[in-house]
Structure 1
């Protein structure tokens, strides 16, 4: 019985010695890993490509946005007029105008939803284009600087490992 226990202790001791020898080598290999960080929102907000994309979307959707705003003002004016005139209107006229206003309001809400959905879709598409170009720039930066890992939006990154400005410069140099 004692012989069996002592052989187990010898096995455990050998395993501990093997770990003690190999573990520092594993950590020594990791010590050479080069890490960088990038702030994605800064790239999406400050690059020329992102600014041009934002201007493009504003121009593309401005007319519809103005139409929706004008329709909302007309409905509000009509509702205020109905409130003022309802005392002197016949019941049938008042009900008819309330229904018309409700229909106009539903139509306006539908247009607003469609507008928002289309704007979000186009914004997503434009951001995807920027992300594709930014990823290409990140890959080039990583290859040039021999960076092993680039972390997107870390909670904290030392400024010396932050490559965000370099990505923005690379995007700005694209035509």
Structure 2
């Protein structure tokens, strides 16, 4: 009886060692995706950027025009200041300060709105890219895909495959 249990123990050990060797023989696949490149090169990201530029072009031009008008008014004030009376100079300075404050407020609001919309658009691009990354990972049997790394061997970079799939070339 003792001999049989010892034989079972040895058999179990052999099975465990065999399974362990098989597990080590299986390749652990790691991939890497450069999200910055996706945001620069994928057609969906380029389309999002174009959409934002179109959406904010009018406000951007209005701000640029207002900034140019403010600069022109400030330059004119600098030229005319020596010939103005004290009360005229103070009134024009106050007017320029108010115009500048309004301009700075509008510029801040514009930047906040632009950043908010940009984040929304990039989030949509990222969600679509992540779906494609998952598809590539499942199709090519990757165990893990990283998006951030201090160093990555270029042989593990699957960014081109993801961009190609996002652009419709790898479906």
TM category, shorter: 0.7 to 0.9
TM-score (norm 2): 0.82
| 2:163 is the alignment partner of 1:134 | no
- Offset at residue 154 of structure 1 (A): 2.1
Matched with 2:12 is none
Question: How many Å apart are 1:94 and its aligned residue?
Answer: 1.0
Matched, 1:94 2:89: yes
Q: Deviations over 1:115-150 (max 9, x none)?
A: 111111111001100000001001100110110100
Q: TM-score, normalised by structure 1?
A: 0.80
> Which residue of 155, 158, 171 maps to 1:160?
155
Counterpart secondary structure, 1:173: coil
Unmatched 5+ residue regions in structure 2? 1-15
RMSD of aligned Cα (Å): 2.0
CA shift, 1:29, in A, is: 4.2
Please name the residue that 1:118 is paired with.
Answer: 113
Matches within 5 A, 1:47-66: 47-66=42-61
CA–CA distance in structure 1, aligned partners of residues 79 and 95 of structure 2: 16
The 1-side partners of 2:96 and 2:32 are apart by 54
Q: Give, in angstroms, the shift of residue 30 of structure 1.
A: 9.1
CA–CA distance in structure 1, aligned partners of residues 123 and 109 of structure 2: 21
Distance 1:54 1:32 in 2: 40
With over 3 angstroms needed to count, the CA separation of the structure-2 counterparts of 1:35 and 1:72, relative to structure 1, is same
